[in-house]
Amino acid sequence: MSAALSGAVDLSALKARADAARQQPATSTSGSPQQQAPAAGGAIIEVTEASFQAEVVDRSLQQLVIVDLWADWCGPCKQLSPVLERLASQAGGAWVLAKVDVDANPRIAQLFGAQSIPTVVAIAGGQPVDAFAGALPEPEIKKWLNALLDALKDKLPSIRDAQPGGGEEVEEPDDPRFTEAEDAFERGDYPGAEAAYQRILDVEPANELAKAALTQVRFAARAESADPSAVARADADPGDLDAQLAAADFEVAQNKIEDAFARLITTIRRTFGDDRNRVRQHLVGLFDLFDPADERVAKARRDLASALF
């Protein structure tokens, strides 16, 4: 799932903006200049456009920096971020997690060309060296990190000097049922992954992890084959239900969440019977990709109720 970035990303544009932002004196509530607070330390840091140069680019000359591009409304982010935070805390300084709220710092996401979130980018020597998108299973994240640390151990002092975890934590063995499903997903065998997660649910119908993973797998299979022309076809022919559903999937994959929800709700308003139920089920399936507290989901649910009743 991880993929090397195509070509080096030029960090100079954001560097210039960050330098300019830091050169402006901070102002207290009384209006007098005051010293800017020092950058956060530790294994996990919050990064803004103003602190990006020091906390990411400069730091990466000595220490591997893992940038987590996230947002509060992003359901998969809520699955991924705690895993990254725990692993960073156990890394003994080998690497640091730099968290970036893309809503508050959109130009950082633009800089990396992030098409969706969560996106995770590894920075070393002032440049991106690898990245992945989506909420990968923890074993895959560990493999990814270990490969990076091994490749960079002779280049970054922090990796040589790291003192991971204290040795007290005993890692729980992986559940072979989830390992089977995750391995299939990583191979791109979506039917195999779906079948593996379904077998877990057949035995444990209330297994929330398997439920969430199954939803993600089914959408990943659809999104991989999503046709960009579906949006144009759907707009040209509002009555083409297949095009409307495909267009909504493509829009979600492109992080145009509100557009996708609005498209399907509009389609529900002008359909009846089995057609309406088909679109409704598809929309509800898209809701399941996100945190129920996501305001976009809450609004779309209200709009859906209005469209149905």
Please state, in angstroms and rounded to a whole number, the distance separating the CA atoms of residues 167 and 163.
9
SS3 state at 9? coil
Residue in the structure block whose two tokens are 């999104």: 223
Report whether the peptide linkage leading into residue 118 is cis, meaning its omega lies within 30 degrees of zero.
yes
Catalytically annotated residue among 74, 136, 231, 300: 74
Residues 6 or more apart in contact with residue 140 via CB below 8 angstroms: 1, 2, 182, 186
Please state, in angstroms and rounded to a whole number, the distance separating the CA atoms of residues 254 and 275.
25
Closest C-alpha to 21, from 45, 44, 46, 54:
54
User: For this structure, is 228 an active site residue?
Assistant: no
Angle between helices 273-287 and 295-308 (to 10 degrees): 170
Catalytically annotated residue among 50, 57, 65, 77: 77
Return the half-sphere exposure (C-beta side, CA atoms, 13 A cut-off) of residue 73: 15
Closest C-alpha to 69, from 86, 56, 59:
56
Closest C-alpha to 96, from 72, 68, 70, 75:
68
User: For this structure, is 74 an active site residue?
Assistant: yes
Q: Which residues have a catalytic role annotated?
A: 74, 77
